[in-house]
């Protein structure tokens, strides 16, 4: 599954710690193991013809093998599914009694565990097979889970059209048909779908035949071919009036998989990207995994209402519209990057997840981490000029080190007991930390060893289940064969320290400049300075280079720091040369140095030499330095001394790291009346960037351009706001604004937001009209994100109300976008926070089973709080029952606020002092031509008076 961007669903932490059980006998929520399914014959008729009665009905014949004598058949069912008890039959399917029915004594339901239990008077015999026949029916709901309804408006007629589609991962197949709904209970599926003959049906496998349904004129059965053995959560079926296009074959050396892209008729002009990318990614993975794709076809379909980003159902991948569809006239380059990476992610799952599946949800991170990592590899091959490997290294490093610095984070591999805990682990840790760790492994083992190990794992376990130790075993065997890991060390020794423990280490490198040695010490890194953890250690692959050597390419470890607290290394260069650790951020660890080595590095960065340092390491060291300063491990003098080199930096990634970290400081100052600093900070680079439009449109140039413009417009720098307003006006003047938009595509988010922020009702309503009229999901989403930029309280209040009304046209799946975009503004923050205080109960009801979403609401207002009274109030709200499904986000947000309070108490004065110092330097430097090279001097060119005023304001605020 691909998580919808920016949304994290979170662990029920208390349940996890108390119920984390692995012993099966203690786990009443697990199915008994006396029966295993071998084959399902599933028949479902879908009724979309009556708006007042959207429903389905059908039956399933499950052939089961009996492993142990028993007197019951226990399967999963869950509302809205109802069993038609009088039709239930259990028949022998082997042996002398073949065909004979067994006597049924009782029907029971265990609602807590979603069990339906058929009690038998006769005994099921070990070694025999049986057919369990269960008729059922159910309502199609709008829960975005199980077999559910979605809809869209047909543009030509203005009529609402309905479709029925599935979302089963992790445990919602049981809402659609009775089944053994655990990932290790693999079976073959023969699906038959009954539909009205003016609709189309789809399932995992290709259509085999169609025949009329007896006594139902105008209705037909679609019979699909029998599937390969697979888990229930990967089954999918859809009944719709969608259209499709077929991807042309890639050529003779490639597979002949029939690749089709499906969407509602009016969106068929947005499928070209998917048509091109799908087969390319599939071919990439066939080669990468060295295992052919086993199905004859792959359908990919854009569903208008969809809870997550996409779902990897085998042979029938479902997406929300924004992750599959792309309109080159309207969608941004960021949308393009997202579509490519989500398609690649889902296709990677066809091997990692579908072919070999985790035994139990504890190993979910392997599925998601691997799909995330492999998606970057495939995207990188599809768009080789985009530098995606570097970008994902830096983004991954920054996101993971940040979240995982919290005491309230959790290990990648979470012991999952009760299935109700599962939805919560589809989070940043599983996806991003998992992916980062796999990258780390591929770098320390070497790409070739890593791939061979993965292939052998896939071949050994195909059509079956595995757990993380199975992967470790395959990789260890390969690594020892290739000599890429010392004989006495296993991949399990190393990786268990990373996947079973929360957090990651910081290495402190203290050089002895007399004898050329250094001590390397490791401890867990925390975002709060007084947290300490003595007993946690990791197996750390240590790579480094020196000023004499300057080789950032060889990321294989020079040393292993075993899971002990420290070690010594020798043969470092002369005392006037720097050393730098963790090449290309190949390991998940921060590095701190002694003062002298920092000084040497700062000096190197501030000379021409910085260009010889790998760009990923440039971004990484900025992130390390700013974070180490944030927790007091180094001074801000060092951190800002380093940042000073940005005057010569032109690459996107180091700027990305710098702005993201300055963003933290800015966020801490935003509601203190303190704004001038950041306004001044950006003027010069804005002046340069606004005058150039990136002609040679590499991804990084476009991103660099828009990140600077975004900052400039957000802080009212230069003519950014006027330019944005003018551009928006010219759009408003168009006679057909839905068809003609003069605003440059990749700046639209910024320009809309700015125009709405500085505008009034007219600007807002204009955008709202465009939202309602747009036919492109990504454009709708972009507008939704801009509407929250308004500074009119009443407009924002109305907006938040509308976001919860289905009749407004905002889909349930998009509702939180309205809230989060409001919470990001200075006025909107207050409106959003009040809204959350008053309406968390309504939100809880609105989201139903998906109420984990409330965590996202909570963190989006909590993240900029930094005073004790704010903390106390937020904490009280977090204790409300509405947040019961988001306990961990609540806890993590509260911990972040504590970090903020600590930072504010300690560093406000120091930051202000530093800005003053920089100011002195700045005044000496003549502000000549406006080039990026002059940016940083000018960045800190702050009027003395203004700074004094700020200082006083800050002090006042702190006294309160």
Task: Supply the residues annotated as catalytic.
Answer: 346
Binding at 225: pick from ligand NAG, Zn ion, none (beta carbon under 5-8 Å per type): ligand NAG
Q: How far is the CB of 30 from ligand NAG (least distance, A)?
A: 10
Which of 68-76, 347-355, 590-598, 925-933 is the region at the interface with ligand NAG (rule: CB under 6 A)?
68-76
Going through 111-199 in order, the beta strands assigned E by DSSP cover 115-124, 129-139, 146-153, 160-167, 188-196
Structure tokens at 720: 């950014």
Residue/partner pairs of 315-320 with CB below 8 Å, 24 or more apart: 315/204, 315/205, 315/227, 316/202, 316/203, 316/204, 316/236, 316/237, 316/238, 317/346, 317/347, 318/165, 318/166, 318/167, 318/236, 318/238, 319/346, 320/4, 320/777, 320/813
φ/ψ (deg, to 5) at 762:
-55, -50
Q: Of the two residues 400 and 653, which places its CB atom closer to Zn ion in the complex?
A: 400
Is there a contact between 151 and 812 (Cβ–Cβ < 8 Å)?
Answer: no
Going through 504-606 in order, the beta strands assigned E by DSSP cover 505-512, 517-524, 540-542, 544-546, 559-561, 566-569, 579-581, 590-593
In the list 20, 27, 32, 228, the residue contacting ligand NAG (rule: CB under 6 A) is 32
Q: How far is the CB of 129 from ligand NAG (least distance, A)?
A: 16
- Nearest Cα residue to 60 out of 117, 136, 130, 147: 136
Which of 70-78, 144-152, 521-529, 925-933 is the region at the interface with ligand NAG (rule: CB under 6 A)?
70-78
**Using CA atoms, how far apart are residues 775 and 685, in angstroms rounded to an integer?**
36
Dihedral of alpha carbons 630, 634, 637, 639, sign? negative
Window 175-204: contact mask with ligand NAG (x via CB under 6 A)? ---------------------x-x------
Does residue number 92 form part of the binding site for Zn ion (CB under 5 A)? Answer: no
Q: Of the two residues 375 and 885, which places its CB atom closer to Zn ion in the complex?
A: 375
Q: How far is the CB of 502 from Zn ion (least distance, A)?
A: 22
Strands ordered across the beta sheet of 146-153: 146-153, 160-167, 237-240, 200-203
Is there a contact between 397 and 525 (Cβ–Cβ < 8 Å)?
Answer: no
Which of 2-10, 218-226, 715-723, 733-741 is the region at the interface with Zn ion (rule: CB under 5 A)?
2-10
Structure tokens at 106: 């009782």
Eight-class DSSP state of 46 = E
Q: Of the two residues 71 and 565, which places its CB atom closer to ligand NAG in the complex?
A: 71
In the list 1, 144, 782, 947, the residue contacting Zn ion (rule: CB under 5 A) is 1
Write out the binding residues for ligand NAG, residues 345-364 only, by CB under 6 A: none
Does residue number 930 form part of the binding site for ligand NAG (CB under 6 A)? Answer: no
- Nearest Cα residue to 67 out of 131, 130, 133: 130
349 has binding-site annotation:
yes
In the list 41, 46, 59, 74, the residue contacting ligand NAG (rule: CB under 6 A) is 74
In the list 11, 371, 580, 681, the residue contacting Zn ion (rule: CB under 5 A) is 371
How do strand 566-569 and strand 517-524 relate by DSSP bridges? antiparallel
Structure tokens at 302: 């854009």
Q: How far is the CB of 70 from ligand NAG (least distance, A)?
A: 3
Binding at 1: pick from Zn ion, ligand NAG, none (beta carbon under 5-8 Å per type): Zn ion
**Using CA atoms, how far apart are residues 611 and 636, in angstroms rounded to an integer?**
23
226 has binding-site annotation:
no
Does residue number 49 form part of the binding site for ligand NAG (CB under 6 A)? Answer: yes
Binding at 164: pick from Zn ion, ligand NAG, none (beta carbon under 5-8 Å per type): none
β partners of residue 510: 519
Which of 66-74, 162-170, 362-370, 526-534 is the region at the interface with ligand NAG (rule: CB under 6 A)?
66-74
Q: How far is the CB of 945 from Zn ion (least distance, A)?
A: 54
**Using CA atoms, how far apart are residues 500 and 479, in angstroms rounded to an integer?**
21
Q: Of the two residues 363 and 792, which places its CB atom closer to Zn ion in the complex?
A: 363
Strands ordered across the beta sheet of 517-524: 566-569, 517-524, 505-512, 590-593
Eight-class DSSP state of 803 = T
Structure tokens at 613: 């340092």
Q: Of the two residues 318 and 822, which places its CB atom closer to Zn ion in the complex?
A: 318
Alpha-carbon torsion, ordered 197, 202, 203, 206, to 10 deg: 90
Binding at 208: pick from Zn ion, ligand NAG, none (beta carbon under 5-8 Å per type): ligand NAG
Window 373-412: contact mask with ligand NAG (x via CB under 6 A)? ------------x---------------------------
Binding at 198: pick from ligand NAG, Zn ion, none (beta carbon under 5-8 Å per type): ligand NAG
Q: Of the two residues 74 and 442, which places its CB atom closer to ligand NAG in the complex?
A: 74
Does residue number 209 form part of the binding site for ligand NAG (CB under 6 A)? Answer: yes
345 has binding-site annotation:
yes
Does residue number 106 form part of the binding site for ligand NAG (CB under 6 A)? Answer: no
The residue ranges that bind Zn ion (CB under 5 A) are 1-2, 368, 371
Binding-site residues for Zn(2+), in ranges, read: 345, 349, 368
Binding-site residues, in ranges, read: 345, 349, 368
The residue ranges that bind ligand NAG (CB under 6 A) are 32, 34, 49, 70, 72, 74, 117, 196, 198, 208-209, 218, 225-226, 385, 696, 698
């Amino acid at each position: 599954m691909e998580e919808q961007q920016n949304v994290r669903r979170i662990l029920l932490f208390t349940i996890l710690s108390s119920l984390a059980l692995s012993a099966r006998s203690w786990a009443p929520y697990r199915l008994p193991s006396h029966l295993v399914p071998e084959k399902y014959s599933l028949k479902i008729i879908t009724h979309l013809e009556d708006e007042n009665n959207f429903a389905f009905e059908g039956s399933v014949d499950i052939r089961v093998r009996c492993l142990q004598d028993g007197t019951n058949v226990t399967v999963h069912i869950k509302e809205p599914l109802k069993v038609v008890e009088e039709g239930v039959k259990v028949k022998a399917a082997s042996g002398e009694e073949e065909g004979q029915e067994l006597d049924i004594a009782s029907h029971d339901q265990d609602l807590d565990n979603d069990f339906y239990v058929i009690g038998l008077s006769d005994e099921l015999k070990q070694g025999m097979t049986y057919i369990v026949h269960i008729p059922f029916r159910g309502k199609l709901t709008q829960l975005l889970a199980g077999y559910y309804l979605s809809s869209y408006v047909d543009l030509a007629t203005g009529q609402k059209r309905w479709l029925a589609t599935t979302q089963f991962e992790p445990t919602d197949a049981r809402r659609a048909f009775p089944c053994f709904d655990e990932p290790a209970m693999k079976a073959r599926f023969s699906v038959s779908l009954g539909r009205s003959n003016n609709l189309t049906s789809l399932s995992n496998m290709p259509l085999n035949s169609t025949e009329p349904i007896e006594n139902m004129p105008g209705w037909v059965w679609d019979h699909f071919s029998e599937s390969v053995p697979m888990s229930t959560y990967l089954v999918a079926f859809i009944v719709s009036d969608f259209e499709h296009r077929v991807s042309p074959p890639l050529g003779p050396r490639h597979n002949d998989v029939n690749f089709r892209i499906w969407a509602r008729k009016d969106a068929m002009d947005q499928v070209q990207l998917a048509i091109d990318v799908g087969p390319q990614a599939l071919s990439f993975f066939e080669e990468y995994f060295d295992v052919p794709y086993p199905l004859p076809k792959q359908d990919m379909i854009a569903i208008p209402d969809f809870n997550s980003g996409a779902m990897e159902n085998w042979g029938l991948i479902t997406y929300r519209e924004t992750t599959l569809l792309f309109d080159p006239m309207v969608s941004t380059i960021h949308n393009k990057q997202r579509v490519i990476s989500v398609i690649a992610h889902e296709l990677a799952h066809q091997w990692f997840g579908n072919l070999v599946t985790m035994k139990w949800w504890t190993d979910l991170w392997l599925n998601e981490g691997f799909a995330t990592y492999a998606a970057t590899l495939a995207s990188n091959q599809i768009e080789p000029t985009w530098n995606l490997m570097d970008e994902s290294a830096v983004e991954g490093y920054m996101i993971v080190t940040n979240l995982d610095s919290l005491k309230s984070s959790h290990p990648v591999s979470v012991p999952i007991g009760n299935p109700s805990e599962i939805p919560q682990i589809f989070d940043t840790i599983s996806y991003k930390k998992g992916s980062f760790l796999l990258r780390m492994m591929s770098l320390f083992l070497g790409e070739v060893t890593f791939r061979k190990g993965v292939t052998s794992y896939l071949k050994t376990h195909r059509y079956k289940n595995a757990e993380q130790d199975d992967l470790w075993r395959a990789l260890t065997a390969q690594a020892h064969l290739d000599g890429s890991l010392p004989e006495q060390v296993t991949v399990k020794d190393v990786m268990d320290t990373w996947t079973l423990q929360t957090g990651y280490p910081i290495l402190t490198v203290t050089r002895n400049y007399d004898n050329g040695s250094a001590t390397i010490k490791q401890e867990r890194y925390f975002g709060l300075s007084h947290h300490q953890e003595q007993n946690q250690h990791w197996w750390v692959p240590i790579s480094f280079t020196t000023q004499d050597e300057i080789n950032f390419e060889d990321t294989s470890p020079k040393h292993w720091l075993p899971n002990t607290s420290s070690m010594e290394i020798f043969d470092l260069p002369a005392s006037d040369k720097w050393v730098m650790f963790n090449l290309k951020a190949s390991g998940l660890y921060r590095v701190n140095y002694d003062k002298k080595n920092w000084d040497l590095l700062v000096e190197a960065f501030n000379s021409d030499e910085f260009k010889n340092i790998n760009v990923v390491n440039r971004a990484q060291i900025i992130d390390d330095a700013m974070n180490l300063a944030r927790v007091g491990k180094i001074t801000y003098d060092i951190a800002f001394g380093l940042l000073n080199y940005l005057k010569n930096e032109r690459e996107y990634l180091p700027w990305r790291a710098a702005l993201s970290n300055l963003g933290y400081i800015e966020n801490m100052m935003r509601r203190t009346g303190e704004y001038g600093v950041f306004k001044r900070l950006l003027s010069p680079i804005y002046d340069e960037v606004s005058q150039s439009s990136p002609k040679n449109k590499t991804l990084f140039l476009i991103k660099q351009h828009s990140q600077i413009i975004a900052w400039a417009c957000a802080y009212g720098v230069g003519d950014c706001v006027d330019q944005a307003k003018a551009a928006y006006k010219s759009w408003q003047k168009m006679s057909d604004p839905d068809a003609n938009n003069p605003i440059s595509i990749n700046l639209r988010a910024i320009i809309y937001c700015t125009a709405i922020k500085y505008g009034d009702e007219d600007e807002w309503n204009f955008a709202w009209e465009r939202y309602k009229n747009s036919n492109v999901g990504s454009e709708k989403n972009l507008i939704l994100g801009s509407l929250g930029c308004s500074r009119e309280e009443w407009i924002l209040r109305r907006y938040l109300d509308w976001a919860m009304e289905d009749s407004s046209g905002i889909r349930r799946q998009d509702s939180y976008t309205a809230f989060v975009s409001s919470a990001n503004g200075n006025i909107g923050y207050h409106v959003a926070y009040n809204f959350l205080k008053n309406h968390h109960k309504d939100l809880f009801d609105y989201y139903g089973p998906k109420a984990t979403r409330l965590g996202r609401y909570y963190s989006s207002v909590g993240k900029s709080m930094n005073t004790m009274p704010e903390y106390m109030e937020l904490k009280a709200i977090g204790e409300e029952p509405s947040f019961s499904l988001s306990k961990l986000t609540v806890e993590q947000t509260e911990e972040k606020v504590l970090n903020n309070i600590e930072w504010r108490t300690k560093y406000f004065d120091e930051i202000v002092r530093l800005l003053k110092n920089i100011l002195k330097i700045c005044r000496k430097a003549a502000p000549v031509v406006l080039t990026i090279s002059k940016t940083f001097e000018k960045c800190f060119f702050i009027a003395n008076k203004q700074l004094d005023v700020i200082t006083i304001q800050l002090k006042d605020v702190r006294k309160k």
